């Protein structure tokens, strides 16, 4: 019986963020797929685990949580001493990591998801992208990446001079964006491009991609 369970979808960036962290911490877990296409996340019993009807949900002993950033924070503090530490116990250093975790959530992800929806998800479903929405989201994401470019001149990674949660949270959406024309936003900014290549090359992220490939072949 698995100690840790992740209920989620390999198509959900939030789920992939949690999986990346589990691999970074070298933790065993059971992945329980939730069928988003069938609306499983909007029905019971899933709704009793997350009343907002969103993946992922995480269980670890007595802890049951939803919201990927909450899951990942707690995981970081619980397992930080073993394997890779993705957080700091020092309040001042962790404050800066927490600052950039919220930047990912409030500034980076909204335009990134809009672009991924228009340029990846809609075409998969036979729909054409809305060029007005794309242009607006590209401009928005471009402004955010300008801030990242300046930040990465002063700091090796977003939250500090080492890899932390603040970086991990970007992995799924960066991976998706690189498969679209919006990759120019990343590739035209040298420090962002270098940071992006480096974090996407982490073995833990490779294991997440392996899970996705295995599912595609199954």
> Which residues of this protein are in contact with other proteins, per CB under 8 A?
51-52, 62-63, 65-67, 69-70, 73-74, 77-78, 91-92, 94-96, 98-99, 101-103, 105-107, 144, 147, 150-151
Q: Please give the helix or strand (H or E) that residue 120 lies within, else none.
A: none
- State the minimum distance, in angstroms, from the CB of residue 126 to other proteins: 25
- Which residue lies nearer to other proteins by CB, 104 or 118? 104
d(CA 165, CA 86): 5
- State the minimum distance, in angstroms, from the CB of residue 78 to other proteins: 7
Q: Please give the helix or strand (H or E) that residue 105 lies within, else none.
A: none
- Which residue lies nearer to other proteins by CB, 14 or 177? 14
Let me know: does 65 contact 74? Beta carbons within 8 Å: yes
Backbone angles phi, psi at 87, to 5 degrees: -135, 180
CA dihedral 188, 184, 177, 109 (to 10 degrees): 60
- Which residue lies nearer to other proteins by CB, 60 or 84? 60
- State the minimum distance, in angstroms, from the CB of residue 217 to other proteins: 33
Residue 162, classified by CB atoms within 10 Å of its CB into exposed (0-12), middle (13-18) or buried (19+), is middle
Token digits of residue 5: 């369970």
Let me know: does 20 contact 205? Beta carbons within 8 Å: yes
- Which residue lies nearer to other proteins by CB, 52 or 131? 52
| Exposed e or buried b per residue across 72-107, where buried means at least 16 C-beta atoms within 10 angstroms of its C-beta | bbebbeebeeeebbbbbeeeebbebbbebbebbeeb
- State the minimum distance, in angstroms, from the CB of residue 143 to other proteins: 8
- Which residue lies nearer to other proteins by CB, 86 or 101? 101
- State the minimum distance, in angstroms, from the CB of residue 170 to other proteins: 16
- State the minimum distance, in angstroms, from the CB of residue 50 to other proteins: 9
- Which residue lies nearer to other proteins by CB, 62 or 203? 62
């Amino acid at each position: 019986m698995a100690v840790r369970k992740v209920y989620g979808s390999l198509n959900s960036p939030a789920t992939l963020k949690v999986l990346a962290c589990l691999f970074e911490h070298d933790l065993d877990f059971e992945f329980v797929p939730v069928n988003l296409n069938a609306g499983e996340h909007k029905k019971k019993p899933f709704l009793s685990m997350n009343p907002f009807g969103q993946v992922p949900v995480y269980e670890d002993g007595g802890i049951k949580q939803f919201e990927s950033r909450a899951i990942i924070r707690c995981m970081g503090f619980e397992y930080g001493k073993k394997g890779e530490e993705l957080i700091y116990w020092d309040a001042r250093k962790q404050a800066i990591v927490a600052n950039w975790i919220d930047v990912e959530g409030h500034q980076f992800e909204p335009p990134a998801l809009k672009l991924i929806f228009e340029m990846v998800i809609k075409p998969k479903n036979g729909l054409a992208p809305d060029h007005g929405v794309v242009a607006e989201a590209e401009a928005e994401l471009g402004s955010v990446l300008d801030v990242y470019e300046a930040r990465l001149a002063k700091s090796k990674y977003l939250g500090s001079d080492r890899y932390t949660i603040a970086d991990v949270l970007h992995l799924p959406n960066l991976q998706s964006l690189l498969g679209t024309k919006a990759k120019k936003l990343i590739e035209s900014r040298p420090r962002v491009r270098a940071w992006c290549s480096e974090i996407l090359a982490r073995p833990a992220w490779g294991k997440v991609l392996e899970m996705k490939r295995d599912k595609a072949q199954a």
